[in-house]
Protein backbone atom coordinates (compact mmCIF):
# COMPACT_ATOMS: atom_id res chain seq x y z
CA UNK A 1 0.00 0.00 0.00
CA UNK A 2 1.28 3.44 -0.92
CA UNK A 3 1.94 5.86 1.94
CA UNK A 4 -0.50 8.42 0.56
CA UNK A 5 -3.15 5.71 0.19
CA UNK A 6 -2.61 4.81 3.83
CA UNK A 7 -3.02 8.43 4.91
CA UNK A 8 -6.04 8.77 2.66
CA UNK A 9 -7.60 5.69 4.26
CA UNK A 10 -6.99 7.01 7.76
CA UNK A 11 -8.32 10.44 6.78
CA UNK A 12 -11.45 8.82 5.35
CA UNK A 13 -11.88 6.80 8.54
CA UNK A 14 -11.71 10.01 10.56
CA UNK A 15 -14.08 11.76 8.16
CA UNK A 16 -16.57 8.91 8.47
CA UNK A 17 -16.60 9.45 12.21
CA UNK A 18 -17.60 13.10 11.84
CA UNK A 19 -19.82 12.56 8.81
CA UNK A 20 -22.40 10.49 10.67
CA UNK A 21 -22.19 12.10 14.07
CA UNK A 22 -25.35 10.56 15.49
CA UNK A 23 -24.37 7.00 14.55
CA UNK A 24 -20.83 7.58 15.77
CA UNK A 25 -22.10 8.92 19.08
CA UNK A 26 -24.50 5.99 19.43
CA UNK A 27 -21.66 3.52 18.82
CA UNK A 28 -19.30 5.26 21.21
CA UNK A 29 -22.02 5.46 23.86
CA UNK A 30 -22.76 1.75 23.47
CA UNK A 31 -19.15 0.65 23.76
CA UNK A 32 -18.52 3.14 26.54
CA UNK A 33 -21.40 1.95 28.66
CA UNK A 34 -20.50 -1.70 28.17
CA UNK A 35 -16.84 -1.10 28.96
CA UNK A 36 -17.82 1.12 31.89
CA UNK A 37 -19.85 -1.72 33.36
CA UNK A 38 -17.01 -4.09 32.57
CA UNK A 39 -14.47 -1.80 34.27
CA UNK A 40 -16.69 -1.28 37.27
CA UNK A 41 -17.26 -4.98 37.60
CA UNK A 42 -13.60 -5.72 37.05
CA UNK A 43 -12.58 -3.28 39.80
CA UNK A 44 -15.04 -4.78 42.26
CA UNK A 45 -14.20 -8.37 41.40
CA UNK A 46 -10.42 -7.96 41.52
CA UNK A 47 -10.67 -6.13 44.82
CA UNK A 48 -12.90 -8.83 46.20
CA UNK A 49 -10.57 -11.54 44.97
CA UNK A 50 -7.67 -9.70 46.53
CA UNK A 51 -9.50 -9.52 49.84
CA UNK A 52 -10.36 -13.20 49.67
CA UNK A 53 -6.79 -14.07 48.71
CA UNK A 54 -5.41 -12.13 51.66
CA UNK A 55 -7.94 -13.72 53.96
CA UNK A 56 -6.96 -17.13 52.62
CA UNK A 57 -3.35 -16.48 53.42
CA UNK A 58 -4.31 -15.50 56.94
CA UNK A 59 -6.27 -18.71 57.40
CA UNK A 60 -3.49 -20.92 58.56
CA UNK A 61 -3.32 -24.01 60.70
CA UNK A 62 -1.28 -24.38 63.87
CA UNK A 63 0.56 -27.60 64.53
CA UNK A 64 1.48 -28.55 68.15
CA UNK A 65 3.88 -31.33 69.16
CA UNK A 66 3.96 -34.09 71.79
CA UNK A 67 5.31 -32.94 75.14
CA UNK A 68 9.09 -32.97 75.36
CA UNK A 69 9.62 -33.78 71.68
CA UNK A 70 13.22 -33.37 70.59
CA UNK A 71 14.21 -30.34 68.54
CA UNK A 72 15.54 -32.64 65.83
CA UNK A 73 12.19 -34.38 65.42
CA UNK A 74 10.41 -30.99 65.36
CA UNK A 75 12.71 -29.94 62.54
CA UNK A 76 11.93 -33.16 60.62
CA UNK A 77 8.19 -32.55 61.00
CA UNK A 78 8.73 -29.02 59.64
CA UNK A 79 10.53 -30.40 56.61
CA UNK A 80 7.75 -32.92 55.91
CA UNK A 81 5.09 -30.22 56.06
CA UNK A 82 6.99 -27.73 53.87
CA UNK A 83 7.35 -30.38 51.16
CA UNK A 84 3.57 -30.40 50.62
CA UNK A 85 2.61 -28.45 47.45
CA UNK A 86 -0.40 -26.69 49.04
CA UNK A 87 1.80 -25.13 51.73
CA UNK A 88 2.76 -21.54 50.91
CA UNK A 89 4.56 -20.66 54.12
CA UNK A 90 5.66 -22.37 57.31
CA UNK A 91 6.89 -20.55 60.35
CA UNK A 92 8.25 -22.00 63.60
CA UNK A 93 7.07 -20.33 66.78
CA UNK A 94 9.04 -21.31 69.89
CA UNK A 95 7.38 -21.50 73.31
CA UNK A 96 9.08 -18.22 74.26
CA UNK A 97 7.89 -16.48 71.15
CA UNK A 98 4.37 -17.78 71.70
CA UNK A 99 4.37 -16.42 75.24
CA UNK A 100 5.87 -13.09 74.20
CA UNK A 101 3.27 -12.61 71.56
CA UNK A 102 0.46 -13.65 73.93
CA UNK A 103 1.71 -11.17 76.55
CA UNK A 104 1.89 -8.42 74.02
CA UNK A 105 -1.54 -9.10 72.57
CA UNK A 106 -3.53 -9.72 75.72
CA UNK A 107 -1.69 -9.15 79.04
CA UNK A 108 0.48 -6.06 78.63
CA UNK A 109 1.67 -4.93 82.08
CA UNK A 110 -0.20 -7.77 83.86
CA UNK A 111 2.34 -10.25 82.43
CA UNK A 112 4.87 -9.27 85.05
CA UNK A 113 3.20 -11.65 87.55
CA UNK A 114 4.35 -14.71 85.63
CA UNK A 115 7.79 -16.08 86.45
CA UNK A 116 7.60 -19.18 84.27
CA UNK A 117 6.36 -19.61 80.76
CA UNK A 118 2.82 -20.99 81.07
CA UNK A 119 2.90 -21.90 77.38
CA UNK A 120 5.89 -24.20 77.79
CA UNK A 121 4.39 -26.84 75.53
CA UNK A 122 3.12 -24.34 72.99
CA UNK A 123 5.95 -24.36 70.49
CA UNK A 124 4.26 -24.76 67.10
CA UNK A 125 4.39 -24.42 63.34
CA UNK A 126 2.13 -21.82 61.72
CA UNK A 127 1.34 -23.16 58.30
CA UNK A 128 -0.23 -20.99 55.56
CA UNK A 129 -1.86 -22.51 52.53
CA UNK A 130 -1.68 -21.38 48.94
CA UNK A 131 -5.07 -22.96 48.28
CA UNK A 132 -7.48 -22.94 51.15
CA UNK A 133 -9.63 -25.71 49.68
CA UNK A 134 -6.80 -28.18 50.36
CA UNK A 135 -6.94 -27.56 54.09
CA UNK A 136 -8.62 -30.78 55.22
CA UNK A 137 -6.32 -32.95 53.10
CA UNK A 138 -3.30 -31.28 54.64
CA UNK A 139 -4.69 -31.65 58.16
CA UNK A 140 -5.28 -35.39 57.62
CA UNK A 141 -1.70 -35.76 56.44
CA UNK A 142 -0.13 -33.80 59.31
CA UNK A 143 -2.22 -35.69 61.89
CA UNK A 144 -0.65 -38.91 60.62
CA UNK A 145 2.91 -37.67 61.32
CA UNK A 146 4.27 -39.17 64.56
CA UNK A 147 5.07 -36.49 67.17
CA UNK A 148 2.14 -34.23 66.23
CA UNK A 149 -0.19 -33.73 69.24
CA UNK A 150 -2.81 -31.34 67.99
CA UNK A 151 -3.81 -29.19 65.06
CA UNK A 152 -5.83 -25.95 65.33
CA UNK A 153 -7.74 -24.88 62.28
CA UNK A 154 -10.80 -23.03 61.11
CA UNK A 155 -12.90 -25.32 58.93
CA UNK A 156 -15.76 -22.86 58.53
CA UNK A 157 -13.54 -20.03 57.26
CA UNK A 158 -11.86 -22.34 54.81
CA UNK A 159 -15.04 -23.68 53.23
CA UNK A 160 -16.68 -20.25 53.13
CA UNK A 161 -13.71 -18.70 51.36
CA UNK A 162 -13.54 -21.56 48.87
CA UNK A 163 -17.24 -21.11 48.11
CA UNK A 164 -17.01 -17.33 47.68
CA UNK A 165 -14.07 -17.71 45.37
CA UNK A 166 -15.89 -20.11 43.08
CA UNK A 167 -19.02 -17.94 43.10
CA UNK A 168 -17.05 -14.85 42.12
CA UNK A 169 -15.38 -16.72 39.27
CA UNK A 170 -18.68 -17.99 37.84
CA UNK A 171 -20.56 -14.73 38.23
CA UNK A 172 -17.78 -12.64 36.69
CA UNK A 173 -17.36 -14.91 33.68
CA UNK A 174 -21.14 -14.92 33.16
CA UNK A 175 -21.64 -11.17 33.40
CA UNK A 176 -18.64 -10.35 31.22
CA UNK A 177 -19.83 -12.80 28.57
CA UNK A 178 -23.31 -11.21 28.52
CA UNK A 179 -21.85 -7.71 28.30
CA UNK A 180 -19.60 -8.64 25.41
CA UNK A 181 -22.40 -10.32 23.51
CA UNK A 182 -24.61 -7.24 23.93
CA UNK A 183 -21.76 -4.97 22.79
CA UNK A 184 -21.05 -6.96 19.65
CA UNK A 185 -24.73 -7.09 18.74
CA UNK A 186 -25.22 -3.35 19.20
CA UNK A 187 -22.03 -2.41 17.37
CA UNK A 188 -22.81 -4.65 14.44
CA UNK A 189 -26.21 -2.95 14.23
CA UNK A 190 -24.71 0.52 14.35
CA UNK A 191 -22.10 -0.30 11.72
CA UNK A 192 -24.81 -1.78 9.48
CA UNK A 193 -26.73 1.49 9.66
CA UNK A 194 -23.54 3.45 9.00
CA UNK A 195 -22.76 1.36 5.97
CA UNK A 196 -26.25 1.45 4.52
CA UNK A 197 -25.99 5.24 4.69
CA UNK A 198 -22.80 5.01 2.58
CA UNK A 199 -23.88 2.17 0.32
CA UNK A 200 -23.91 4.50 -2.66
CA UNK A 201 -20.32 5.51 -2.03
CA UNK A 202 -19.26 1.88 -1.74
CA UNK A 203 -21.00 1.11 -5.04
CA UNK A 204 -19.24 3.96 -6.82
CA UNK A 205 -15.92 2.79 -5.42
CA UNK A 206 -16.53 -0.72 -6.70
CA UNK A 207 -17.52 0.53 -10.16
CA UNK A 208 -14.32 2.54 -10.42
CA UNK A 209 -12.27 -0.54 -9.53
CA UNK A 210 -11.52 -0.25 -5.84
CA UNK A 211 -10.20 -3.42 -4.26
CA UNK A 212 -12.12 -4.95 -1.35
CA UNK A 213 -9.27 -3.94 0.91
CA UNK A 214 -9.46 -0.30 -0.19
CA UNK A 215 -13.22 -0.19 0.36
CA UNK A 216 -13.07 -1.88 3.74
CA UNK A 217 -10.15 -0.03 5.26
CA UNK A 218 -11.77 3.34 6.08
CA UNK A 219 -14.73 1.59 7.70
CA UNK A 220 -12.48 -0.69 9.69
CA UNK A 221 -10.37 2.26 10.82
CA UNK A 222 -13.58 4.07 11.74
CA UNK A 223 -14.74 1.07 13.76
CA UNK A 224 -11.43 0.76 15.53
CA UNK A 225 -11.33 4.47 16.35
CA UNK A 226 -14.87 4.32 17.72
CA UNK A 227 -13.82 1.32 19.81
CA UNK A 228 -10.75 3.17 21.03
CA UNK A 229 -12.70 6.27 22.04
CA UNK A 230 -15.39 4.05 23.53
CA UNK A 231 -12.71 2.44 25.70
CA UNK A 232 -10.85 5.59 26.76
CA UNK A 233 -13.95 7.38 28.08
CA UNK A 234 -14.97 4.71 30.65
CA UNK A 235 -11.34 4.22 31.64
CA UNK A 236 -11.10 7.91 32.51
CA UNK A 237 -14.39 7.85 34.41
CA UNK A 238 -13.45 4.74 36.36
CA UNK A 239 -10.01 6.17 37.19
CA UNK A 240 -11.57 9.26 38.75
CA UNK A 241 -14.42 7.33 40.36
CA UNK A 242 -12.12 4.71 41.88
CA UNK A 243 -9.96 7.33 43.54
CA UNK A 244 -13.01 9.13 44.94
CA UNK A 245 -14.53 5.92 46.31
CA UNK A 246 -11.24 4.81 47.87
CA UNK A 247 -10.74 8.20 49.52
CA UNK A 248 -14.29 8.05 50.81
CA UNK A 249 -13.85 4.56 52.28
CA UNK A 250 -10.52 5.42 53.90
CA UNK A 251 -11.97 8.62 55.25
CA UNK A 252 -15.29 7.29 56.54
CA UNK A 253 -14.52 3.68 57.38
CA UNK A 254 -10.89 3.50 58.52
CA UNK A 255 -11.75 0.26 60.37
CA UNK A 256 -12.60 -1.41 57.09
CA UNK A 257 -9.21 -0.69 55.54
CA UNK A 258 -7.50 -2.48 58.46
CA UNK A 259 -9.57 -5.59 57.86
CA UNK A 260 -9.72 -5.56 54.08
CA UNK A 261 -6.87 -4.81 51.75
CA UNK A 262 -7.94 -2.78 48.69
CA UNK A 263 -5.93 -2.58 45.48
CA UNK A 264 -4.47 0.73 44.38
CA UNK A 265 -5.81 2.39 41.26
CA UNK A 266 -2.52 1.56 39.50
CA UNK A 267 -2.80 -2.12 40.31
CA UNK A 268 -6.31 -2.11 38.82
CA UNK A 269 -5.35 -0.09 35.73
CA UNK A 270 -2.26 -2.15 34.94
CA UNK A 271 -4.68 -4.85 33.83
CA UNK A 272 -7.87 -2.89 33.10
CA UNK A 273 -6.27 -0.46 30.60
CA UNK A 274 -4.88 -3.00 28.10
CA UNK A 275 -7.91 -5.27 28.47
CA UNK A 276 -10.44 -2.46 27.92
CA UNK A 277 -8.53 -0.97 24.99
CA UNK A 278 -8.16 -4.44 23.49
CA UNK A 279 -11.86 -5.19 23.85
CA UNK A 280 -12.92 -1.76 22.52
CA UNK A 281 -10.65 -1.81 19.48
CA UNK A 282 -11.32 -5.53 18.95
CA UNK A 283 -15.09 -5.07 18.97
CA UNK A 284 -14.78 -2.10 16.59
CA UNK A 285 -12.55 -4.10 14.28
CA UNK A 286 -14.70 -7.23 14.27
CA UNK A 287 -18.02 -5.40 14.07
CA UNK A 288 -16.92 -3.27 11.13
CA UNK A 289 -15.04 -5.92 9.15
CA UNK A 290 -17.87 -8.45 9.38
CA UNK A 291 -20.48 -5.87 8.46
CA UNK A 292 -18.52 -4.32 5.57
CA UNK A 293 -17.81 -7.75 4.15
CA UNK A 294 -21.55 -8.29 3.73
CA UNK A 295 -21.87 -5.22 1.50
CA UNK A 296 -18.92 -5.77 -0.78
CA UNK A 297 -20.22 -8.13 -3.45
CA UNK A 298 -21.24 -5.54 -6.01
CA UNK B 1 -4.18 -23.49 -19.01
CA UNK B 2 -6.35 -20.67 -17.82
CA UNK B 3 -3.56 -18.18 -18.47
CA UNK B 4 -2.85 -19.66 -21.86
CA UNK B 5 -6.45 -19.24 -22.87
CA UNK B 6 -6.51 -15.73 -21.51
CA UNK B 7 -3.30 -14.78 -23.32
CA UNK B 8 -4.66 -16.21 -26.53
CA UNK B 9 -7.91 -14.32 -25.98
CA UNK B 10 -5.98 -11.10 -25.49
CA UNK B 11 -3.97 -11.64 -28.63
CA UNK B 12 -7.09 -12.32 -30.70
CA UNK B 13 -8.66 -9.19 -29.34
CA UNK B 14 -5.60 -7.19 -30.31
CA UNK B 15 -5.45 -8.68 -33.80
CA UNK B 16 -9.06 -7.93 -34.61
CA UNK B 17 -9.14 -4.76 -32.49
CA UNK B 18 -12.19 -6.28 -30.86
CA UNK B 19 -12.61 -4.83 -27.39
CA UNK B 20 -16.03 -6.19 -26.43
CA UNK B 21 -17.27 -9.54 -27.58
CA UNK B 22 -20.52 -11.27 -26.62
CA UNK B 23 -21.24 -14.60 -28.28
CA UNK B 24 -24.61 -16.30 -27.75
CA UNK B 25 -24.95 -14.60 -24.39
CA UNK B 26 -28.06 -15.26 -22.34
CA UNK B 27 -28.84 -13.97 -18.90
CA UNK B 28 -31.75 -15.26 -16.89
CA UNK B 29 -32.73 -14.06 -13.44
CA UNK B 30 -33.89 -16.60 -10.92
CA UNK B 31 -37.42 -15.24 -11.29
CA UNK B 32 -39.25 -14.43 -14.49
CA UNK B 33 -38.32 -14.40 -18.17
CA UNK B 34 -34.74 -14.16 -19.50
CA UNK B 35 -33.34 -10.63 -19.50
CA UNK B 36 -31.04 -11.28 -22.47
CA UNK B 37 -31.41 -14.05 -25.00
CA UNK B 38 -28.74 -15.27 -27.40
CA UNK B 39 -27.06 -11.89 -27.77
CA UNK B 40 -24.17 -11.55 -30.23
CA UNK B 41 -22.43 -8.22 -30.04
CA UNK B 42 -18.92 -7.37 -31.17
CA UNK B 43 -17.49 -3.91 -30.67
CA UNK B 44 -14.12 -2.80 -31.96
CA UNK B 45 -11.65 -0.51 -30.32
CA UNK B 46 -12.46 3.16 -30.92
CA UNK B 47 -16.12 2.63 -31.89
CA UNK B 48 -19.01 4.83 -30.76
CA UNK B 49 -22.12 2.73 -30.21
CA UNK B 50 -25.63 3.61 -29.07
CA UNK B 51 -27.60 0.91 -27.29
CA UNK B 52 -31.28 1.72 -27.53
CA UNK B 53 -34.47 0.06 -26.47
CA UNK B 54 -37.44 0.52 -24.19
CA UNK B 55 -37.36 -0.17 -20.50
CA UNK B 56 -37.32 -3.91 -19.93
CA UNK B 57 -35.45 -4.47 -23.19
CA UNK B 58 -32.30 -5.65 -21.37
CA UNK B 59 -30.12 -2.52 -21.70
CA UNK B 60 -29.37 -2.31 -17.98
CA UNK B 61 -28.64 -6.02 -17.83
CA UNK B 62 -26.18 -5.62 -20.68
CA UNK B 63 -24.36 -2.78 -18.87
CA UNK B 64 -24.23 -4.86 -15.69
CA UNK B 65 -22.79 -7.81 -17.58
CA UNK B 66 -20.12 -5.60 -19.16
CA UNK B 67 -19.14 -4.33 -15.71
CA UNK B 68 -19.19 -7.87 -14.36
CA UNK B 69 -21.77 -6.79 -11.81
CA UNK B 70 -23.77 -9.74 -13.11
CA UNK B 71 -22.56 -13.07 -14.48
CA UNK B 72 -23.93 -14.47 -17.74
CA UNK B 73 -26.07 -17.60 -17.64
CA UNK B 74 -24.65 -19.03 -20.87
CA UNK B 75 -22.45 -18.06 -23.82
CA UNK B 76 -19.15 -16.19 -23.90
CA UNK B 77 -18.36 -12.68 -22.81
CA UNK B 78 -14.97 -11.12 -23.31
CA UNK B 79 -14.08 -7.53 -22.50
CA UNK B 80 -10.53 -6.27 -23.05
CA UNK B 81 -9.32 -9.84 -23.06
CA UNK B 82 -10.94 -10.66 -19.72
CA UNK B 83 -13.19 -13.70 -19.78
CA UNK B 84 -15.96 -12.31 -17.60
CA UNK B 85 -17.69 -15.66 -17.13
CA UNK B 86 -14.62 -17.06 -15.40
CA UNK B 87 -12.80 -14.07 -13.93
CA UNK B 88 -11.79 -14.47 -10.27
CA UNK B 89 -13.41 -12.12 -7.76
CA UNK B 90 -10.09 -10.59 -6.75
CA UNK B 91 -9.27 -9.68 -10.35
CA UNK B 92 -12.53 -7.78 -10.92
CA UNK B 93 -11.23 -4.43 -9.53
CA UNK B 94 -8.28 -4.49 -11.93
CA UNK B 95 -10.61 -5.30 -14.82
CA UNK B 96 -13.00 -2.45 -13.94
CA UNK B 97 -10.17 0.06 -14.04
CA UNK B 98 -10.33 -0.26 -17.83
CA UNK B 99 -13.91 0.99 -17.87
CA UNK B 100 -15.23 4.42 -17.08
CA UNK B 101 -18.90 4.67 -16.18
CA UNK B 102 -21.40 7.52 -16.17
CA UNK B 103 -24.94 7.20 -14.80
CA UNK B 104 -28.17 9.06 -15.43
CA UNK B 105 -28.28 10.23 -11.82
CA UNK B 106 -24.58 11.28 -11.80
CA UNK B 107 -23.84 9.47 -8.50
CA UNK B 108 -21.44 12.06 -7.18
CA UNK B 109 -20.32 12.11 -3.55
CA UNK B 110 -22.45 14.93 -2.21
CA UNK B 111 -20.22 15.76 0.73
CA UNK B 112 -17.13 16.34 -1.43
CA UNK B 113 -16.30 19.09 -3.86
CA UNK B 114 -15.73 18.74 -7.60
CA UNK B 115 -11.97 18.27 -7.24
CA UNK B 116 -12.35 15.58 -4.57
CA UNK B 117 -15.01 13.74 -6.56
CA UNK B 118 -12.62 13.39 -9.47
CA UNK B 119 -9.52 12.80 -7.33
CA UNK B 120 -11.51 10.01 -5.58
CA UNK B 121 -11.25 7.90 -8.76
CA UNK B 122 -7.48 8.37 -8.83
CA UNK B 123 -7.08 7.55 -5.15
CA UNK B 124 -8.98 4.32 -5.67
CA UNK B 125 -6.42 3.14 -8.18
CA UNK B 126 -3.70 4.38 -5.81
CA UNK B 127 -2.18 7.15 -7.90
CA UNK B 128 0.44 9.25 -6.16
CA UNK B 129 -0.43 12.71 -4.83
CA UNK B 130 1.74 14.29 -7.50
CA UNK B 131 -0.08 12.51 -10.33
CA UNK B 132 -3.46 13.38 -8.84
CA UNK B 133 -2.54 17.07 -8.65
CA UNK B 134 -1.56 16.92 -12.32
CA UNK B 135 -4.37 14.76 -13.76
CA UNK B 136 -7.43 16.16 -11.99
CA UNK B 137 -7.09 19.81 -13.09
CA UNK B 138 -6.27 18.65 -16.58
CA UNK B 139 -9.42 16.52 -16.95
CA UNK B 140 -11.55 19.24 -15.31
CA UNK B 141 -10.23 21.57 -17.99
CA UNK B 142 -11.30 19.14 -20.71
CA UNK B 143 -14.90 18.93 -19.42
CA UNK B 144 -14.98 22.72 -18.93
CA UNK B 145 -15.14 22.84 -15.15
CA UNK B 146 -11.66 24.13 -14.29
CA UNK B 147 -13.13 27.17 -12.56
CA UNK B 148 -15.54 25.22 -10.37
CA UNK B 149 -13.28 22.71 -8.71
CA UNK B 150 -14.21 23.91 -5.23
CA UNK B 151 -17.98 23.69 -5.71
CA UNK B 152 -20.08 21.00 -4.05
CA UNK B 153 -22.36 18.95 -6.36
CA UNK B 154 -25.55 20.63 -5.13
CA UNK B 155 -24.15 24.03 -6.18
CA UNK B 156 -23.93 22.80 -9.77
CA UNK B 157 -26.52 22.44 -12.54
CA UNK B 158 -27.45 18.98 -13.83
CA UNK B 159 -25.25 19.44 -16.88
CA UNK B 160 -22.29 20.46 -14.74
CA UNK B 161 -22.82 17.51 -12.42
CA UNK B 162 -22.78 15.16 -15.38
CA UNK B 163 -19.51 16.73 -16.52
CA UNK B 164 -18.02 16.04 -13.10
CA UNK B 165 -19.19 12.44 -13.41
CA UNK B 166 -17.64 12.32 -16.87
CA UNK B 167 -14.37 13.75 -15.57
CA UNK B 168 -14.38 11.12 -12.81
CA UNK B 169 -14.99 8.37 -15.38
CA UNK B 170 -12.22 9.62 -17.65
CA UNK B 171 -9.49 10.63 -15.24
CA UNK B 172 -8.17 7.08 -15.00
CA UNK B 173 -7.91 6.97 -18.81
CA UNK B 174 -10.21 4.00 -19.41
CA UNK B 175 -10.22 2.16 -22.72
CA UNK B 176 -14.01 1.95 -22.65
CA UNK B 177 -16.55 4.49 -21.50
CA UNK B 178 -20.03 3.23 -20.60
CA UNK B 179 -22.66 5.94 -20.36
CA UNK B 180 -25.99 4.75 -18.94
CA UNK B 181 -28.65 7.28 -19.97
CA UNK B 182 -26.19 10.16 -19.54
CA UNK B 183 -28.70 12.75 -20.77
CA UNK B 184 -31.74 11.29 -19.03
CA UNK B 185 -31.85 14.09 -16.45
CA UNK B 186 -30.70 16.94 -18.66
CA UNK B 187 -32.36 19.58 -20.83
CA UNK B 188 -31.70 19.48 -24.64
CA UNK B 189 -28.93 22.08 -24.53
CA UNK B 190 -26.99 20.30 -21.79
CA UNK B 191 -27.70 16.94 -23.43
CA UNK B 192 -26.05 18.10 -26.61
CA UNK B 193 -23.05 19.45 -24.77
CA UNK B 194 -22.54 16.12 -23.01
CA UNK B 195 -22.91 14.25 -26.28
CA UNK B 196 -20.33 16.50 -27.92
CA UNK B 197 -17.96 15.77 -25.08
CA UNK B 198 -18.55 12.04 -25.53
CA UNK B 199 -17.82 12.38 -29.22
CA UNK B 200 -14.64 14.30 -28.47
CA UNK B 201 -13.57 11.60 -26.01
CA UNK B 202 -14.28 8.96 -28.65
CA UNK B 203 -12.16 10.84 -31.17
CA UNK B 204 -9.23 10.67 -28.79
CA UNK B 205 -9.41 6.86 -28.99
CA UNK B 206 -11.75 5.76 -26.19
CA UNK B 207 -14.43 3.24 -27.11
CA UNK B 208 -17.79 4.76 -26.12
CA UNK B 209 -21.06 2.90 -25.44
CA UNK B 210 -24.09 5.06 -24.78
CA UNK B 211 -27.34 3.59 -23.54
CA UNK B 212 -30.09 6.06 -24.27
CA UNK B 213 -33.73 6.80 -24.90
CA UNK B 214 -32.96 10.08 -26.63
CA UNK B 215 -34.30 9.61 -30.15
CA UNK B 216 -33.29 13.06 -31.37
CA UNK B 217 -29.65 12.59 -30.41
CA UNK B 218 -29.42 9.06 -31.79
CA UNK B 219 -30.89 10.10 -35.10
CA UNK B 220 -28.74 13.20 -35.42
CA UNK B 221 -25.39 11.67 -34.56
CA UNK B 222 -25.34 8.97 -37.21
CA UNK B 223 -23.39 6.39 -35.21
CA UNK B 224 -23.71 2.63 -34.87
CA UNK B 225 -27.02 1.81 -33.20
CA UNK B 226 -27.81 -1.50 -31.52
CA UNK B 227 -31.50 -1.93 -30.72
CA UNK B 228 -32.66 -4.31 -28.03
CA UNK B 229 -36.19 -5.56 -27.63
CA UNK B 230 -37.24 -7.95 -24.88
CA UNK B 231 -33.69 -9.19 -24.43
CA UNK B 232 -32.92 -9.76 -28.09
CA UNK B 233 -30.89 -7.61 -30.52
CA UNK B 234 -33.41 -6.71 -33.21
CA UNK B 235 -31.15 -4.46 -35.21
CA UNK B 236 -27.50 -3.46 -35.38
CA UNK B 237 -26.79 -0.75 -37.93
CA UNK B 238 -23.85 1.41 -38.84
CA UNK B 239 -24.99 5.04 -39.00
CA UNK B 240 -28.37 3.88 -37.78
CA UNK B 241 -31.32 5.63 -36.27
CA UNK B 242 -33.76 5.13 -33.43
CA UNK B 243 -36.19 2.37 -34.37
CA UNK B 244 -39.74 2.91 -33.22
CA UNK B 245 -41.33 0.20 -31.16
CA UNK B 246 -44.38 -0.10 -33.33
Q: Tell me the residues of A at the B interface, defined by beta carbons under 8 Å apart.
A: 1-2, 4-5, 8, 19, 200-201, 203-212, 214, 298
Residue of A19, A204, A212 with shortest CB distance to B107: A204
Could you tell me how many CB contacts below 8 A there are between chain A and chain B?
48
Angstroms from B128 CA to nearest CA on chain A:
7
Chain B residues close to A200, C-beta within 8 Å: 107
**Alpha-carbon span A58 to A4, nearest angstrom:** 61
Closest CA relative to residue B169, chosen from B161, B157, B177, B158: B177
Q: What is the pLDDT of residue A155?
A: 63
Tell me if B90 and A1 make a contact (CB, 8 A cut-off).
Answer: no
Chain B hits for A8, Cβ within 8 Å: 123
d(CA B66, CA B178): 9
Please give the residue of chain B at the shortest CA–CA distance from A16. B111
Q: What percent of chain A has pLDDT over 90?
A: 12
CA distance B96 to chain A (A): 5
Q: Are A65 and A147 contacting, i.e. CB atoms less than 8 angstroms apart?
A: yes
Best B126, B130, B169, B175 member to test A by mutation, with max A CBs in 10 Å, is B126
Question: Which of A5, A206, A207 faces B123 most closely, judged by CB atoms?
Answer: A5
Interval B155-181 mean pLDDT: 94
Tens-place pLDDT, residues A199-253: 888 888 889 899 888 888 888 888 899 899 999 999 999 999 999 998 998 888 8
Q: Say if the Cβ atoms of A1 and B95 lie within 8 Å.
A: no
Closest CA to B66 of B172, B191, B177: B177
Cβ-nearest to A207 among B67, B123, B129? B67
Chain B: give the shortest CA distance to residue A226, in Å: 21
Among candidates A19, A203, A210 on the partner chain, residue whose Cβ is nearest the Cβ of B124: A210
CATH 3.30.70.3040 range(s) for chain A read: 60-153
Contact list in A for residue B94 (CB cut-off 8 A) is: 209
Mean pLDDT lowest among A43-47, B79-83, B204-208: A43-47
Q: Does domain A60-153 have CATH number 3.40.50.10330?
A: no
Residues in chain A closer than 8 A to B121 (CB atoms) = 208
Q: In terms of pLDDT, which residue wins out, A101 or A272? A: A272
How buried is A231 (Cβ within 10 angstroms: 0-12 exposed, 13-18 middle, 19+ buried)? Answer: buried
Average pLDDT, chain B: 89
pLDDT above 90 for B100 = yes
Q: Which of A205, A207, A296, A298 to mutate to test the interface with B (most CBs of B within 10 A)?
A: A207
Q: Which residue has the higher pLDDT, A30 or B164?
A: B164
Number of continuous H segments (helices) and E segments (strands) in chain A:
10, 4
Minimum mean pLDDT range among A175-184, B97-106, B208-217: A175-184
Give B172→chain A minimum CA distance, Å: 9
Give Rg (Cα) of chain A: 30
Q: Please tell me whether the interface predicted TM-score (ipTM) of this complex is above 0.85.
A: no
pLDDT for res B7: 41
Which residues lie closer than 8 Å to A82 by C-beta, 6 or more apart?
A90
To the nearest whole angstrom, how far is the Cα of B113 from the nearest Cα of chain A? 14
β-pairing, B224-229 vs B48-52, is parallel
pLDDT > 80? residue B230: yes
Amino acid sequence: MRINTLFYTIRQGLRNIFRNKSFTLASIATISSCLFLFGLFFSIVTNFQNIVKNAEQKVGITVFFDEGLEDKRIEEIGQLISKRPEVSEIHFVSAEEAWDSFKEDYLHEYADGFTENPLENSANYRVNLSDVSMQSALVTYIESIPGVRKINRSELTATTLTGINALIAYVSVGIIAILLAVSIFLISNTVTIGISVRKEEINIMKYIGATDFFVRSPFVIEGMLIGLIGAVIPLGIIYVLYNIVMEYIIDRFPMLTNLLSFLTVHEIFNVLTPVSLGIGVGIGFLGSIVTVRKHLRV
Amino acid sequence: MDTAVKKKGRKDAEDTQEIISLTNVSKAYSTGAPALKDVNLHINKGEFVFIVGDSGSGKSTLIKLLLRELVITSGDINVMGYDLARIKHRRIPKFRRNIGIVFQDFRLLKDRNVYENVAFAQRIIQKSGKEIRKNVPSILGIVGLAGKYKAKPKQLSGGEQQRVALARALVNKPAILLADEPTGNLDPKNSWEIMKLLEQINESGTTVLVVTHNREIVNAMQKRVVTLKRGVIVSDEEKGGYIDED
